[in-house]
Amino acid sequence: MSAPAASPQSAPADVIARLSALHPRRIDLGLDRMHRLLEKLGHPERRLPPVIHVAGTNGKGSTVAYLRAILERAGLKVHTFTSPYLVRINECFRLGRIGGGVLVSDDELTEALTHCERVNDGEPITFFEAKTAAGFCLYAENPADVLLLEVGLGGRLDSTNVIERPLAAVITPLGMDHVEYLGDTLAAIAGEKAAIIKRNVPVVVAEQQPEAMAVIEAEARRQRAPLFAAGRQWHVGVECGRLVYQDDRGLMDLAAPRLFGRHQFDNAGLAIAALRAIDTPKLPHAAFEGIVNADWPARMQRLSSGGLICLGPVGSEIWLDGGHNADGGRVAAAALGDLEERVSRPLVVIAGMMANKDASAFLANFAGLTRHIIAVPIPDQPNAMPPDRLADAARGLGMRVEIADGIEAALRRLVGLAYEIPPRILITGSLYLAGPVLALNGTPPA
């Protein structure tokens, strides 16, 4: 999603409010407004560092995190543009520095947004479009070796899709999400995502369902774009707890990613494949060892410290994951299954979702792992799913469900229950919920 996951808590709040009022709809996909603003800004998109463009349904942010970790390990300066943010809008903009990037400061971001507001001169524009343009201004003015550019929504009409010739197009796993904007079939969604493929530019693709892969292959042929697909041109697997990557240039045996879950090996493999496909600059083997340094909050993140830890049952584990669609729930459930094999604990799922999500399809992934769901509201989100509707979806799956008025109340409620073993608690269902959780916990992204 392209909109904020929490209320702005930094200096740009006033200009954000003004820019957000310039269009009646929060999301209105199209490139005409973006082209108009970029022309008035003097085309900052033409003065960017080399771009790696990343689209997909799930795993975009984690893949960007792996790309950044590898490139920074190689000593390069790496800009990133990601969305949504969890606690502060500054998280969307990371400026490359030697030794590791930094989030844009309040003053820098306010200046960039205000400049775009002034140049736009009251014309209709969505906030995400203005935010993207502001990012392009920041990245054009700050020298770096690479810009990792994450698509906000879809691809074809996303405001990032004004880059004419990136280093590579990267497509993470595709699934059913945002059907009201992208289409109600996997083929339609794949068509929107595959539109970031540019002529003669390498396209690196995660493992896909056949229906989606057929669309991507057809677009790659049409654009004469070299295709590097998982399971064909490259392979990634787990052996003895380590990541093993192989392509026609050889094999790499690397330490496992720190991010938890089997799917993170796939995301790391996709990042490795993208950089091997580009091979500019040529990276030493030691750079790829940087995958162990990748960090991406709210993706099967264990909360091991912070203000929420003391609210649940003593000795319990608290995990946070922003998954919000059927495929996101599937990989989170698989990760929980791995945890259960290591150390068995009763599982409780605390869930909050947005109203446009398929709660039944998401929660069905956890039906074999838990029968205890606590439905909570997402604070400050008028389009959040009412907890009673989420509870109805859980009951329809045969789950025991109750409703709490917030995360803190849900955790306190668990203290009064009798557990022979302290439970494993997963807070999930939306990145819009994950942001307030990290804020409550006192551990926002840095």
Instruction: Give the C-alpha separation, 292 to 254, whole Å.
Output: 9
Taking only the tens place, the pLDDT of each residue in 60-99 is: 999 999 999 999 999 999 999 999 999 999 999 999 999 8
The reported pLDDT for the residue numbered 7 is 41
On the question of pLDDT at 10 being above 60, the answer is no
- Running DSSP on this structure, what letter comes out for residue 361? H
User: Does 280 share its domain with 319?
Assistant: no
On the question of pLDDT at 397 being above 80, the answer is yes
CATH of the domain at 40: 3.40.1190.10
Stretch 288-317: mean pLDDT: 95
User: Does 288 share its domain with 380?
Assistant: no
- Higher-confidence residue: 177 or 81? 81
Q: How far is CA 15 from the centre of its chain?
A: 25
User: Does 373 share its domain with 401?
Assistant: yes
User: Does 231 share its domain with 373?
Assistant: no
The band of 1, judged by pLDDT with boundaries at 50, 70 and 90, is very low
User: Does 317 share its domain with 276?
Assistant: no
Last residue of a domain, one of 243, 277, 293: 293
Stretch 15-33: mean pLDDT: 94
Q: How many domains does the chain have?
A: 2
Q: Is there a domain that residue 251 lies in?
A: yes
User: Does 265 share its domain with 311?
Assistant: no
The reported pLDDT for the residue numbered 5 is 41
Taking only the tens place, the pLDDT of each residue in 241-289 is: 999 999 999 999 999 999 999 999 999 999 999 999 997 668 999 999 9
Last residue of a domain, one of 293, 323, 358: 293
Q: Is there a domain that residue 2 lies in?
A: no
User: Does 326 share its domain with 276?
Assistant: no
Classify 348 as helix, strand or coil.
Answer: strand
Indicate the length of the chain as a whole number: 446
User: Does 344 share its domain with 208?
Assistant: no
User: Does 94 share its domain with 165?
Assistant: yes
The reported pLDDT for the residue numbered 26 is 87
Contact assessment for residue 117 and residue 138, using Cβ atoms and an 8 Å cutoff: no
The reported pLDDT for the residue numbered 8 is 43
The reported pLDDT for the residue numbered 371 is 77
User: Which domain range does residue 424 map to?
Assistant: 301-441
- Higher-confidence residue: 414 or 2? 414
The reported pLDDT for the residue numbered 117 is 97
Contact assessment for residue 423 and residue 347, using Cβ atoms and an 8 Å cutoff: yes
Task: Enumerate residues 6+ apart whose C-beta is below 8 A from 70.
Answer: 271, 272, 275, 283, 287, 288, 290, 291
CATH of the domain at 384: 3.90.190.20
User: Does 212 share its domain with 262?
Assistant: yes
User: Does 305 share its domain with 416?
Assistant: yes
Residue 165 burial (10 A CB sphere; 0-12, 13-18, 19+): exposed
Order the strands of the 317-320 sheet from edge to edge: 301-302, 317-320, 424-428, 347-351, 372-375, 400-403
The reported pLDDT for the residue numbered 6 is 39
Number of helical H runs and strand E runs in the chain: 15, 17
Q: How far is CA 108 from the centre of its chain?
A: 24
Instruction: Give the C-alpha separation, 391 to 162, whole Å.
Output: 42
Last residue of a domain, one of 293, 317, 335: 293
